[in-house]
Structure 1
Amino acid sequence: MEQIPLYQHIFNTLKARIESGELQPGDQLPTEAELSREFKVSRITSKRALTELENANLIYRVQGKGSFVNSDLPPLRPQPRIGKEMLFILPFTHNPGLGDYEKGINEYLATTDYTLNIQSNTIIGQRKLLETAFHNNNSGLILYPVSSNEDLGILYQYYQSKYPLVTMDKIIDGIPFPAVISDNFDGGYQACKHLIENHHRKIAFLSSSRVEKSSSIRERYFGYLQALYDNSLIDYSVNDLTERYLTHEDDDGKEYYKRFIQAMMDSGVTGIVAENDLIAIEIMQIAKDMGLSIPDDFSIVGFDNIHLSSFVEPKLTTISQDFAQMGYMAAKNLVEIIEDPQKRPRDNVVVPIQLIERQTVKKL
């Protein structure tokens, strides 16, 4: 197979960024020097790539200022949706307990003539899947986003083109796609309230990522804060601890959680509201490795009610989401939008949660 010239590779990459919306009309492109460093090529090669983009009318160049994306580019248009196949993009291939999303979707689709195609972004990546889906003939898309604020350029193109799309689990920041979500606020509230009812007074919230990235985590966090406020338990030392550990971007998760547990014990914290069950279970295991006992040394409440939560020792107290109902409502809303675009739901669907009491919360 003949290898494409280096300048062509740069041209193709920048063209894809423009067409996906990553580079918007009016945006400035990297300079020749920056492209040389990024692609490890000579200035002559990067200059040739920019010249080809200009010849293709994708950019214009201003002497002394740089290269910019043309403002009169024809908008991307999705292919006509003539099929009866619905696409579901999600950020995991297999996650114990979360397969009920698919069960709920298929339960609703069984009453229609639509079928379901599932793709995971764990290998290809969400942006690439979204770019591909935009140009195929799926009837519509259910998207379980990796975060609330990633790939906004291509997602806004979906919105502009009125592509039938429903999000699940999270809300996309700034783009009003209809969404089906759990009552995450009430979940965070009930988890914290349960600890308070068992006489815990210093309670921390633990997340695996910044709350700004995910509307679902953010709402759980706000629910936790509201429960503390309603019970006059806002403690700035605990709040400072929580804020420190809402920014987990550490590759060594185990060491990170060890530091959190130690800081928690030093601060007199007796209860944790965890973002999800997987984090709660990891904390429990690390605590055991540190010679601590749950719930004797501290209590913990998870979120999701995955299958594993009822098999660990001690069994995890958690907040249960109705994944099947979320899938069912997402499919129902999407079919309604496909068949009547004027019938877009004004409000998001919020599915109730349930506290599942087990063995990881001690009454003080």
Structure 2
Amino acid sequence: MGNIPLYQHIVIALKTKIESGELKIGDKLPTEAEISKKYNVSRITSKRALTELENANLIYRVQGKGSFVNSVLPANRSLDKASKEILLILPFTHNPGLGDYEKGINEYLAGTEYTLNIQSNTIVGQGKLLQAALQSSNSGIIFYPVSSISDLGILYQCHLSQFPFITMDKGVEGIPFLSVVSDNFDGAYQATKHLIENNHKKIAFISSLKVEYSSSIRERYFGYLKALFDYDLIDQSVNDVTERYLKHDDDNGREYYIRFIQTILEQGITGIVTENDIIAIEIIQIAKELGLSVPDDFSIVGFDNIHLASFVEPKLTTISQDFGTMGYRAAQSLIQLIEKPHEQSMENVVVPVKLIERQTVRRL
């Protein structure tokens, strides 16, 4: 996935401070040496970042004295002057298996005049990236939120300014952005049903976040509950376990998962539906270290079908999301929103998922 060069992270951070007023006209910027130390980069990288800011007319440089915020700053974003560039904001720089988002977006953009710019919030932070984007000349934004409840203030400003904006993977609480998501509800329903059809009666759900933090996690949790309800397998003791471990907030992840594994074994739980593949794979690895076997001691189903899911031992049964189609549909919806805002349907896009059967579910 197209990682952002280190100097661009620095450019974004300093640009955000300038455009927000944290750095005012005439203020002196950090020196190349100070930037190198703060961001742990070479002097060449810090020098290039300052050169980029100078080329953008955001700063001016005085030999022997340093760099200063310019008195003539670029004007705020104007729709009629917007570039033909789409901004994709991601919460990660590289995530194996999710690169098809970018591939799908570029496949659609190939038939248009638009190009793709990718930025991640791993250094600068989501809120600052959004603030800078709102003042930019980008034609529109495809946004992968950290959660459904983060940075609501700046996101609502994007909504009020009618900035062409599409969310991907999850929605934003209370703000009617168009979204492109997987069918998370059906995916978790399929995962739970698969365990039930293999005679599992006690099935737990585990998540890395509370369900209210993410619309996608919430839909997966509800899909899991609906399958248990439909097959009359609601069990209060299992519910108690799921509620206890619905949020991963322990600083020591290993100890957290050890306690979870011990709890499900004590409660006679034989099946687990996980929020994502990363959690499932970590549980499998820790189970091995404890002398346990998947699926002999318990069965588990992941969600995402990342590349690693087919290489771990045992190979992970999981729900496959079509990341390429999600990216394609997000780009398609955004370009329609940009070019024909009054004709754009306000219906969100839900992309189907499918169960991938491998080796981590045992028939009882």
Q: CA deviation at 1:79?
A: 3.8
SS at match of 1:329: helix
The answer to whether the Cα contact below 8 Å between 1:77 and 1:161 also exists between their aligned partners in 2 is: no
Paired AA for residue 140 in structure 2 = G
**Deviation digits for residues 295-331 of structure 1, max 9, x if unmatched?**
0000000000001000000000000000000000000
> Measured at CA, do residues 16 and 362 of structure 1 come closer, stay the same or move farther in structure 2, by a change above 3 Å?
farther
Please give the residue correspondences for 1:99-178 in structure 2 after superposition, counting only pairs within 5 Å: 99-178=99-178
Counterpart-to-counterpart distance in 2, 1:341 and 1:174 = 21
Counterpart-to-counterpart distance in 1, 2:192 and 2:21 = 46
SS at match of 1:116: strand
Paired AA for residue 87 in structure 1 = L
Q: CA deviation at 1:345?
A: 2.4
The answer to whether the Cα contact below 8 Å between 2:167 and 2:178 also exists between their aligned partners in 1 is: yes
The answer to whether the Cα contact below 8 Å between 2:76 and 2:136 also exists between their aligned partners in 1 is: no
Counterpart-to-counterpart distance in 2, 1:198 and 1:116 = 45
The answer to whether the Cα contact below 8 Å between 1:78 and 1:161 also exists between their aligned partners in 2 is: no
**Deviation digits for residues 92-119 of structure 1, max 9, x if unmatched?**
1111100000000000000101000000
Q: 2:56 matched to which residue of 1?
A: none
> Measured at CA, do residues 346 and 308 of structure 1 come closer, stay the same or move farther in structure 2, by a change above 3 Å?
same
Q: CA deviation at 1:240?
A: 0.7
Q: 2:180 matched to which residue of 1?
A: 180
Q: 2:40 matched to which residue of 1?
A: none
State the Cα RMSD in Å: 1.5
Q: 2:220 matched to which residue of 1?
A: 220
SS at match of 1:83: coil
What stretches of structure 1 move > 6 A for 4+ residues in a row? none
Please give the residue correspondences for 1:307-322 in structure 2 after superposition, counting only pairs within 5 Å: 307-322=307-322
Counterpart-to-counterpart distance in 1, 2:174 and 2:348 = 14
**Deviation digits for residues 140-166 of structure 1, max 9, x if unmatched?**
000000000100000000000100000
Q: Is 1:259 matched up with 2:277?
A: no
Q: 1:44 matched to which residue of 2?
A: none
Please give the residue correspondences for 1:88-99 in structure 2 after superposition, counting only pairs within 5 Å: 88-99=88-99
Identity of aligned residues (%): 68
Counterpart-to-counterpart distance in 2, 1:264 and 1:117 = 45
Q: 2:230 matched to which residue of 1?
A: 230
Q: 2:68 matched to which residue of 1?
A: none
Q: Is 1:341 matched up with 2:341?
A: yes
Q: CA deviation at 1:203?
A: 0.1
Q: 1:303 matched to which residue of 2?
A: 303
Q: 1:331 matched to which residue of 2?
A: 331
Counterpart-to-counterpart distance in 1, 2:329 and 2:110 = 13
Counterpart-to-counterpart distance in 1, 2:136 and 2:142 = 15
**Deviation digits for residues 273-300 of structure 1, max 9, x if unmatched?**
0000011000000011111000000000
Please give the residue correspondences for 1:13-92 in structure 2 after superposition, counting only pairs within 5 Å: 78-80=77-79, 81-92=81-92
Counterpart-to-counterpart distance in 2, 1:330 and 1:276 = 22
Counterpart-to-counterpart distance in 2, 1:190 and 1:244 = 23
**Deviation digits for residues 26-75 of structure 1, max 9, x if unmatched?**
xxxxxxxxxxxxxxxxxxxxxxxxxxxxxxxxxxxxxxxxxxxxxxxxxx
Paired AA for residue 141 in structure 2 = L
- What residue ranges of structure 2 are gaps of 5+ in the alignment? 1-16, 23-74
Counterpart-to-counterpart distance in 2, 1:297 and 1:143 = 40
**Deviation digits for residues 158-180 of structure 1, max 9, x if unmatched?**
00010000000001110010000
SS at match of 2:174: coil
- TM-score, structure 2 length as denominator? 0.79
- What residue ranges of structure 1 are gaps of 5+ in the alignment? 1-11, 18-75
SS at match of 1:343: coil
